[in-house]
Amino acid sequence: MESVAELAAVVQRVATWMKEQRTAQGVLLCPEHGIEHTGKNAGLVVLACELVRQGLAPAEDWLPVAEEQALRLAGRLEREGDSTCWTFRPGRHDPFNCSNNVIDGGACSDALADFLELAQDRLAPGVQSLLTRACVLHAQTYLRYAAFDKPIPAQQAWALTGVAQAWRRSGHEVLRYATVEGVTALQQVMHADGSFAYHGHPQEGVEAGEPHPGATDVSSFYQSRVSAFALFALERIGQDPAETRWREGFEAQLEFLAALYAPDGIKLAAIEAKPWYHGAEYEVASHPFDVFALARGARCFERPDWGALAWRAAEAWARHVTPAGQPQSHEPGQGRQRSYQCPTFWAGHSAWMARALPDLAWIEQQGWASQPTPLPKTVVRFFPQAQLARLENEAVIAWVRAARPGSNASHGSPRGAGLLQAFDRQTGARLVSFRGGDPMRTWDRAGDWTGRVGVLPRWRAGWRHARGELRFSWWLARNAFRRAGWMAAVVQPWRALRRGWCASSSTRVHSAWNLAPGWQPVEGGVLLRSCLAYRDGRCAPKTELERRIVVTDEGLHVHDRFLHGRANDWIFESSDTPGPWTWTSEP
């Protein structure tokens, strides 16, 4: 991608694809879930507004589409029974919507205000009044409370987008106050290293399943939503995010986000509280939020490196848009499956890529987009709360993770206690691979130890570890049935049984499954004290392992020493990537 104009053309292609999904009556129905995703359809309103606002498309072509969809959004506002809350349906009321009230509502109030700001002079007074009422009534009765009550920071932040936009339409001071206090609350729950737990406090009933410790893990998929929405909300109410009280928090958040990115513009997806969302070992569905956050952060905080990274992330996203304009979260490939979310979701999210275009154009004017990233001498950065280290020099970039919350095949990061990924800077080759592209098959990962302890399966321990996952699979099966029928539904519990109970009951042990290794900095890297562990994280006896992972002039140097007499050294090279090592228990 040589210019921001090329990216704008891709965004317009996505908007056109989304527009063409409408029926003759203007109903934008998801072909996969058979429902109007109200909150995602709101993205078409924002896309249309941005295309017109930035002079990328004729107003006569797109404003009627935006008005049509805005009226449909307003028509979905309903009172919640006897409650004082007014929410946009379906929200949480239809499981096939795959969303909830605060996500849908934040997007709807935001989109309605955006359309009114651009086109109110063209609208009849009755239409203006109707759209304004829907935008403000929802924010006043629901969003300003949800911004504090929800235990998920990304959802709290999404609520703030609607609250801030509603303030611009109404001037109600309580909405401005809620925005300021909401951003403050988000910075207070932020980890000191800039990361966020996906779920602050797991509660019964979250995502229609029993809460799992993995939900408290960090999420590369959701990290940028908090920053993007908070930056947007503050600016909508006239606050400068670069003020002293905000600056340190935003810089920490964006530093962590930037540390997840590889040279190819793809994030490290191994840090993920919700791996069940994704059908591959990477995703670009979250890139619109990343690009907005990084581009706006580059401009606010004068960071050319974030500007260059935003450009690479935008390029990666654009590569995954089909010629017809349909966004993809990942490219098809062996072992990869469809993601839980659908192209309608991703098209709606692309509104944030459209909003990032002016900042990307500014970055292009500054020369930051084409500015080569300086190759560092050896730099090791630690993010203690996420238990993540990024190691890099002129030859290699690597990520090492130590401890993490408990996980299963659906919740929590599946790997830790060692390397997550490594890149050769010269060739761009990934030095840690997955057979078949399946990130859950950790025993096929290069550079790890695997083995077996015992003979008989651990059925009772496996059931304790996987029973919640089996229950959760029935919720997924219900959605799969609506999308693709009985065969797709039956696959869900069968997969959970195979990857949950059976895998957790196995006698297999693995170096990536230890949940609580110790770590300490050493020159050029980290030293991990770990063990081989069963799938549930329990250490196997007599498998204590010391792993020294450092970057040197030769590349990435790993030294493993079992405390029972075994040792191994290797250098990762793109031409000769090592495979998994096998440990066998001694008699």
Going from the N-terminus, what domains does the chain have, and what CATH number goes with each?
4-204+213-330+348-366 (1.50.10.20), 387-454+509-584 (no CATH), 459-506 (no CATH)
For the stretch 407-440, pLDDT in tens is 887 888 988 999 898 888 877 777 776 543 444 4
**Shortest CA distance to 266 belongs to which of 245, 248, 281, 246?**
281
3-class state of residue 408 by DSSP: coil
Contacts of 196 (CB under 8 A, 6+ apart): 153, 154, 189, 190, 218, 219, 222, 223, 226, 253
pLDDT at 372: 67
Average confidence score pLDDT of the chain:
87
Q: What is residue 437's three-state secondary structure?
A: helix
Checking if the pLDDT of 295 tops 90, the result is: yes
**Between β-strands 449-452 and 581-584, what pairing exists: parallel, antiparallel or unpaired?**
parallel
The answer, yes or no, to whether the previous bond of 323 is cis (omega within 30 of 0) is: no
Amino acid, res. 256: F
**Residue scoring higher pLDDT (500 or 193):** 193
- Give, as one character, the DSSP assignment of residue 373: P
Longest C-alpha distance within the chain, in Å? 84
pLDDT average, residue stretch 539-546:
86
Q: Tell me how far apart the alpha carbons of residues 167 and 158 are, in angstroms, rounded to a whole number.
A: 15
Predicted confidence at residue 211, as pLDDT, reads: 62
Model pTM? Answer: 0.92
Lowest-confidence pick of 23-32, 215-224, 386-395, 418-427: 418-427
How large is the average pLDDT for residues 284-300? 98
Q: In this predicted structure, what is the pLDDT of residue 529?
A: 94
pLDDT tens-digit readout, 325-383:
999 999 988 778 888 889 999 999 999 999 999 999 999 999 998 776 666 788 999 99
Round to whole Å and give the CA distance between 37 and 518: 45
Is residue 418 left, alpha or beta, with left meaning phi > 0 and alpha meaning psi from -120 to 50? left
